Amino acid sequence: MAQKTKSKYRLTPQLAYVIGLWKARKTGQGIGVSGKCSEVFVEEAIKQRLTKPNKMIVREACAYFYHSKLRDFFEEVEKDGIEIFKEKNEKSANFLAGFFDGSGEIRNGFPIFHRLDLKTSFIIERLGFRIKKIRQEGKSNIYAQKDFLIFVKPYLKIIN
């Protein structure tokens, strides 16, 4: 589990948010995200001292930086997420807020995921939030209960 490794990194709620954002919108290179959440990713990565401003690469709608040990830590948290985020706490709320900021929207008061992998859906359900897959307009959307929104709303940085 990522929290018990000899890594010099410690999973804080703020870092859990960045990892959730990264998991939702990963770039192929380095540690980065693409799309609407790039600006927030840059701000958070610099604020948390994950990288220096001059090491951040921003191209088109994509932002990333290179750091192999930190990437290993992110991947470890992603791999062990089902165990790490098994309780309703600030870390889980931040991780899911980051993921939701990167892959969701609020429609008619309900949180909707456009990208939801099996592990993250398991984390959501394990925390007691039910999700439902609905096919509309030629695509599948995953609706979560409104109480999911109450859980993550204090930590959202993009979607309000």
- Domain 90-155 fold: Endonuclease I-creI (3.10.28)
The residue written with tokens 């088109």 in the block is 60
Which of 41, 99, 44, 50 has the alpha carbon at shortest distance from 71? 50
* pLDDT 10s digits, 71-107: 999 999 999 999 999 999 999 999 999 999 999 988 8
Q: Given strand 131-136, what is the order of strands in its sheet?
A: 104-107, 110-113, 139-144, 131-136
Which of 63, 51, 57, 52 has the alpha carbon at shortest distance from 21? 63
Mean pLDDT over residues 51-74, rounded?
Answer: 95
Q: Can you tell me whether residue 132 is helix, strand or coil?
A: strand
For residue 144, pLDDT over 80 is answered with: no
Contact between 76 and 56 (Cβ < 8 Å): no
pLDDT higher for 151 or 60? Answer: 151
According to the model, what pLDDT value does residue 5 have? Answer: 47
For residue 121, pLDDT over 70 is answered with: yes
Contact between 106 and 112 (Cβ < 8 Å): yes
Q: Where are the domains of the chain?
A: 12-80, 90-155
For residue 62, pLDDT over 90 is answered with: yes
Q: From CA 87, how far away is CA 85, in angstroms rounded? A: 6
* Count of all residues that appear for the chain in the document: 160
